Amino acid sequence: METKLLNTDDESLRLAGRLLREGKVVGIPTETVYGLGANALDTKAVGDIFKAKGRPQDNPLIVHISELSQLEGLVEEIPELAKKCAEQFWPGPLTMIFKKKPIIPDTTSGGLDTVGIRMPSNKYARKIISYAGVPIAAPSANLSGSPSPTTAMHVFKDMNGRVPAIVDGGMSAVGVESTVICFEGDSIRILRPGFISKEDLCEVTDNVLIDKGVLEQLSADAVVRSPGMKYKHYSPTADVTIIDADADKFRAYVSEHGDSETVCLVFSDSDCEGTSLRYINYGADSKQQAQKLFDALRQLDEIGAKKAYARCPEKTGVGLAVYNRLLRAAGFQVIKL
Ligand code: AMP
Ligand code: MG
């Protein structure tokens, strides 16, 4: 199949919407990462997302809406806390888990009786969804296991020949996937950290918990609340290790252990100064790191890195999301100095 690259003029967005309504799979820009969209209510179309990605069947998809009014048709009940979160953070990079209505096929929910819903803030994403006229299931548009795509070119590299169209909406503003939360009485539990941080959610309630799957390695047969967290994820070919250290200790460590096939992921050009090692600067603060991390991981493959040492991000605010993704890219290898 030929994969068309579409731009963001109105005609192209309408075409993307029509393809989705007809049951096709389309790569779409969102503010988090690029998504691989299909009609969330169409079992066959959703099945094609799993095929295109090579995604395990028990890994549920997030359903994207363009209007708040779509929510009640999809879920059994909307807790008070969810209403507050929607008011505060939608449209935006927050996914909320609800008990699903039967209209959501089991294929979409990965066999769970719950469904994750999000209203993206990216204006192209919302237009495409509204032109499609149906809720859109959309996981990240990468091959299962690889880093998530933050540009249309990343999507093209993974999905060329697998989907009929990709809409190029420029670089994703946030760069990491949405924060996923569920509700437990008057508490919010963070199942996957994202741009909406624990600190942000505390504006809605003091009771915000971080699930243990966020920072711990889960076994493949574990029964978990957020199935995606147990899979190998975001992995470049290079063997990645996180170095939890200040700049001086980082520099000393990598110059002793690095070689010509090593690439460092750093916060500043000075982090590798005086060494002969290659490096990729992935940003000086957590927001920049969120935006650039996946591109940096993809670049490791492009330049043929065998080994990578990454400076350890902050573990608070958006930094927790960056750390969570990098931990998985590194297969949980962390050296604390
Ligand atoms: P992706 O769209 O590739 O970013 O993956 C979506 C992730 O959201 C899944 O891997 C889960 O971790 C999480 N998720 C989606 N739906 C649910 C759900 N019903 N319950 C718990 N976690 C979910
Ligand atoms: Mg994904």
| Cβ contacts of 299 within 8 Å, gap of 6 or more | 280
Residue 104 in contact with ligand 1 by CB distance below 6 A: no
Asked whether residue 174 is domain-assigned, the answer is: yes
Contact 326, 293 (CB under 8 A): yes
Domain count for the chain = 2
85-109 pLDDT, tens digit per residue, is: 999 999 999 999 999 999 999 999 9
46-76 pLDDT, tens digit per residue, is: 999 999 999 988 899 999 999 999 999 999 9
Residues 247, 208, single domain; the answer is no
Atom number of ligand 1 nearest to Cα 140: 3
Residues 208, 243, single domain; the answer is no
CATH of the domain at 149: 3.90.870.10
Residues 286, 178, single domain; the answer is no
- Report, as an integer, the average pLDDT of 296-304: 95
Domain hosting 178: range is 4-214
Residues 184, 307, single domain; the answer is no
Query: Which residue minimizes the CA distance to atom 17 of ligand 1?
Result: 116
CATH of the domain at 294: 3.40.50.11030
Asked whether residue 219 is domain-assigned, the answer is: no
**Which pLDDT band, with edges at 50, 70 and 90, does 218 fall under?**
confident
Q: Which ligand is nearest to the CA of 60?
A: 1
Residues 17, 128, single domain; the answer is yes
Residues 197, 65, single domain; the answer is yes
Give distance in angstroms: CA of 316 to centre of ligand 1.
22
Asked whether residue 23 is domain-assigned, the answer is: yes
Q: Which ligand is nearest to the CA of 193?
A: 1
Contact 262, 279 (CB under 8 A): no
Give distance in angstroms: CA of 11 to centre of ligand 2.
28
- Report, as an integer, the average pLDDT of 23-48: 98
Residues 203, 319, single domain; the answer is no
- According to the model, what pLDDT value does residue 230 have? 61
* Ligand 1 mutation pick, 25, 33, 59, max ligand atoms within 8 A of CB: 59
Residues 146, 289, single domain; the answer is no
Residues 198, 156, single domain; the answer is yes
Helix (H) or strand (E) segment spanning residue 147: none
Atom number of ligand 1 nearest to Cα 116: 16
Residue 227 in contact with ligand 1 by CB distance below 6 A: yes
Using alpha carbons, select from 33, 198, 192, 238 the residue that is nearest to residue 122: 33
Compute the radius of gyration of the chain from its Cα atoms.
20
Asked whether residue 130 is domain-assigned, the answer is: yes
Residues 13, 150, single domain; the answer is yes
Contact 117, 65 (CB under 8 A): yes
